[in-house]
Amino acid sequence: MLESVQIKKIRKPHVRRPNAELQREINCPFPDCDRVYGQQQALNLHLQRKHATGHKTTREQSAKGLVETYAKGLRIGKDRLRELPNIPPGLVQEMIEVHSMHISPSQLRLLEEDISELNRIHAEQIQSDIMRVKQENVIEPTAV
């Protein structure tokens, strides 16, 4: 019942609606990726599969945890950084706004620097996975 009421309201201009129902173009937040999606859910799947971000809640908790850590004046080590899921550009800022978090500009800069490094680590990892798959395909005879 609730569901049908919400669906009817979708066409009206000022009604807030869940992200999954929005029909618009959403760009993948990674700068070296040009994929565009009509739904948040489709982008989420893409982020998970192509950018190793893990589930939405996983990466949001990870980003939030990083802000909390850096806000205390701490910095995560390179080895620990490698173990984290990839974090899309802009997610840290989103978590700061959504959770009204406070972090000094210098610590935020440090965090953004480390997230760029995290993005680079994952991009490298994904690229080497692609190369490995390609090589395996060359070695194995094609069935067709």
Integer Cα distance of 27 and 108 in angstroms: 24
Task: State which of residues 19, 23, 26, 28 lies at the interface with Zn ion (CB under 5 A).
Answer: 28
Q: CA 142 → CA 109, 130, 135, 137, distances in Å?
A: 49, 18, 13, 8
Considering the complex, state which of residue 62 and residue 107 has its C-beta at the smaller distance from Zn ion.
62
Helices 40-51 and 105-139, axial angle in degrees (round to 10): 70
- Using the rule CB under 5 A, give the single segment among 23-31, 80-88, 110-118, 120-128 that binds Zn ion: 23-31
Helices 105-139 and 56-71, axial angle in degrees (round to 10): 140
Looking at residue 141, the DSSP 8-state letter turns out to be P
Task: State which of residues 6, 12, 13, 30 lies at the interface with Zn ion (CB under 5 A).
Answer: 30
Q: How far is the CB of 116 from Zn ion (least distance, A)?
A: 16
- Using the rule CB under 5 A, give the single segment among 21-29, 70-78, 88-96, 132-140 that binds Zn ion: 21-29
Tell me if 33 contacts Zn ion by CB under 5 A.
yes
Helix (H) or strand (E) holding 27: strand 26-27
Integer Cα distance of 122 and 127 in angstroms: 8
Considering the complex, state which of residue 101 and residue 123 has its C-beta at the smaller distance from Zn ion.
123
Instruction: Tell me the per-residue interface mask from 34 to 53 with Zn ion, x by CB under 5 A, - otherwise.
Output: -x------------------
Binding footprint of Zn ion on the chain (CB under 5 A): 28, 30, 33, 35
